[in-house]
Amino acid sequence: MYGNDRGSFRDDSFESTAPVEVGKEYDVEIEDVAKKGDGIARIEGFVIFVPETKVGDQVTIVVDRVMQRFAIGHKA
**This prediction's pTM:** 0.78
pLDDT tens figures, 14-41? 456 899 999 999 999 999 999 999 999 9
Query: What distance in Å separates the CA atoms of residue 51 and residue 2, rounded to the nearest whole number?
Result: 44
pLDDT tens figures, 41-73? 999 999 999 999 999 999 999 999 999 999 999
Nearest Cα residue to 39 out of 71, 67, 68 = 71
